[in-house]
Structure 1
Amino acid sequence: MSKRAAIAGLCLLVLVGAIALSLAIGARSIDLETVWHALTAFDPSDKDQLIVRTTRVSRTVIGVLAGAALGVAGALMQSLTRNPFADPGLLGINAGASLAVVIALSTGLATGFAAQVPVAFVGAGLAAILVYAIGARGAAAGAPVRLALAGVALTALLTSITYAVLMVNESTLDQYRMWVAGSLTGRQAEDVLPLIPIVLVAILAALIASRQLEAVALGEDAARALGVNIAAIRTVIIVLVTLLAAAATAAAGPIVFVGLAVPHLARALIGASLPWLVVVSAFGGAALVLLCDVVGRVVAPPGEIGVGITTAFIGGIIFALMARRMKVVEL
């Protein structure tokens, strides 16, 4: 077995462990045997099994979905821009989703989480399309630097509009702050089922397109010599990043750090092979979100801290230590 396959297998084992912890740990701890029975021989009269089936399965599914999507989106974004500190948020996805949710809340179009999912997804997608439309004009059209600059500018604009709406609508602010913190609670797996095939297809497409993206990373001249259509592969990758990040944001709100640090750490472990990077980032991103969610459940009983806050806090510390102890991984 190769080193990369071994690391991918280890990450998968960590993810399985994180899933087990997510199903067992919370305000009420449940033993793994009861968790297993809840999944394989459900008894609705058992309160512990009922908690597992009605609450924890949903938040675990959403955590895996959001974490895997963010991990792969970050890996693609960093490879596309050749910047190890690039994040899917560069395309204005979080800002677009946030503004869409705020407008929907203030107009009464989306009062519950189930209604917020498609609204956030559409808002994120429209923001990314606008960024690409701006970055694709003029000289060096579609270049990663132009897209990043367009994303930063659009994010600032959309964020200012979002805050302007919130300033004049306090009731919307109360609802919005629960969404913007990033959380796996108050959600049902049924609400995000349409996002699951989107994420799975996008990850599969990322694996298929990864070899061509690797060629682009060698430089445009080398990529053209290998017969790669640079404009086409950039467009494909941007579409995939948009779908993945939009799905994650719609499902769990804006969760920071995962799309930044997980691919960077994965690259340090397995090197620059993009297909393996996609696999490891998917497993690692899902495991990180679930583990941070578990930590958020137990650090402030009887309440809990949203996963978006714990990923920012724990992930920031880890990333700072990585920056001190290792060189920035070259792309």
Structure 2
Amino acid sequence: MTGAALPRHGRAASVAPAAGLALLVLAFLWHISVGAKTIPLPVVARAILAYDPEIFDHLVVIDLRVPRAVSAVLVGAALSVAGALMQGVTRNPLAEPGLLGLLIGASFAVVLVVGVLDLAAPGLIPLVAAAGALAAAAVVWGIALAAPGGPAPLTLVLSGAAVSAFLGALVTIASLLDEETFDQLRVWMTGSLAGPDRAVTLWALPWLLGGLVVALGLARQMTALAMGDEVAAGLGLNVGRLKALALAAVVALTAASVAMAGPLGFVGLVVPHGVRLFAGQDYRLVLPWSAIAGAAYLLVVDVAARLVLAPVEISTGLVTALLGAPIFVWLVKRRL
């Protein structure tokens, strides 16, 4: 595997990471620049490199816009890599944290602990989200295994839809029983990058970085696993251990993303498929490019959420759903 030559489109993708990172930096600066008040890029650069608290624009950049842009980068990268991992492990082109129930599982667990039990410790939220995502994944997989034909792509998606609908109904019931408590979670539940909680972000960051490190460390093995369990085993890989590590990375990435921004659906579906158009199927390219492209994608989507109905701002999760749903339908028609 290590000595195999990359296909032509893979070689092209491997020599352009600097270009991808440059575009990501430009998207990051553009995201900070636009908003209710446009701040010129030179002012943005000065605010970042030579912050002056006496200048109002610098305060806006550093206190409001940079944290939001950083959240978009982290969450976009995490969900995209999680989606790419899930598609490789399950060999299901429709796999992603939202469609297979992990996002709503993590969200339901957070709502239960924060909204119902009133335990809002920042360090607890990523752990609770991870437990919810893992439990939802187990239930979805169990339902798919019990179905005729086993965990086929469509069966997994339908199982994920059923679990998501059930948990979503429970969240709605809980919110109706205690509307005052759930007012603070209402926007978060739609998927929002506005006003990220810095304490939660700091606690979620180790989960997210750990998930990315594990995912990138599995890149070479994931290429073999995506060809089938028999192929991977024939190459000497421990398939069970590899799948367990990939699942751990997916859960960590999903938990961190939900803790920071709520459930943002379809990011893990859209970005990896776009990446494969130029990076091919080699996960040594797919995973790092998914991280870069996912970060840039969510930056652009978040700008759209702020500007489409300006001065009214809509939740970023609503925009990702509006963009992702047609792509999901196209994939269903094309692949199934």
Settle same-fold status: TM greater than 0.5. Answer: yes
1:109 paired residue number: 119
Q: Match for residue 171 of structure 2?
A: 162
In structure 2, what is the Cα distance between the partners aligned to 1:228 and 1:284?
A: 29
* Residue 78 (structure 1) shift: 0.7
Deviations 1:250-305, CA, capped at 9 Å, x for gaps: 11111111101100111122110011100111011111111111122222222312
Aligned counterparts of 1:238 and 1:148: Cα–Cα separation in 2:
17
Query: What RMSD in Å do the two structures reach over aligned CA positions?
Result: 3.0
Given that 2:77 and 2:291 are in contact with CA atoms closer than 8 Å, whether structure 1 keeps it comes out as yes
Residue ranges of structure 2 left out of the alignment (5+ in a row): 1-9
Instruction: Please state if 1:14 is matched with 2:20.
Output: no
Q: State the secondary structure of the residue aligned to 2:297.
A: helix
Once the two structures are TM-superposed, the CA of residue 207 in structure 1 deviates from its matched residue by 1.8
Which residue of structure 1 aligns with residue 102 of structure 2?
93
Compared with structure 1, are the counterparts of its residues 28 and 4 closer, same or farther at alpha carbon in structure 2 (3 Å cutoff)? same
Instruction: Give the fraction of aligned pairs with identical amino acids, expressed as a percent.
Output: 38
Q: Which residue of 2 aligns with 1:123?
A: 129
What is the distance in 2 between the residues matched to 1:29 and 1:137? 50
How has the CA–CA distance of structure 1 residues 149 and 297 changed in structure 2, closer, same or farther, with 3 Å as cutoff?
A: closer
2:89 aligns to what? 80
Match of 1:51 among 48, 56, 60: 60
* 1:132 aligns with one of 135, 138, 141: 138
Task: Work out whether 1:247 is the aligned partner of 2:253.
Answer: no
Secondary structure of the structure 2 residue equivalent to 1:2: helix
Does residue 1:309 correspond to 2:318, yes or no?
Answer: yes
Report deviation, 1:148. Answer: 6.5
Long gaps (5+) in structure 1: none
Distance 1:134 1:294, change over 3 A: closer
1:188: how far off? 4.1
Note if contact 2:84-2:290 (Cα within 8 Å) is conserved in structure 1.
yes
Range with bigger deviation, 122-131 or 258-267:
122-131
- Corresponding position of 2:268: 259
Question: Which residue identity lines up with residue 200 of structure 2 in the other structure?
Answer: D
2-side partners of 1:166 and 1:185: how far apart? 21
CA contact (8 A) 2:144 2:151 kept: no
- The alpha-carbon distance between structure 1 residues 190 and 170, as it changes in their structure 2 partners (threshold 3 A), is closer
Distance 1:139 1:292 in 2: 36
1:181 to 190, 193, 203: 190
Q: Indicate which of 13, 16, 23 corresponds to 1:4.
A: 13
Report the TM-score when normalising by structure 1: 0.85
Q: Please name the residue that 1:279 is paired with.
A: 288
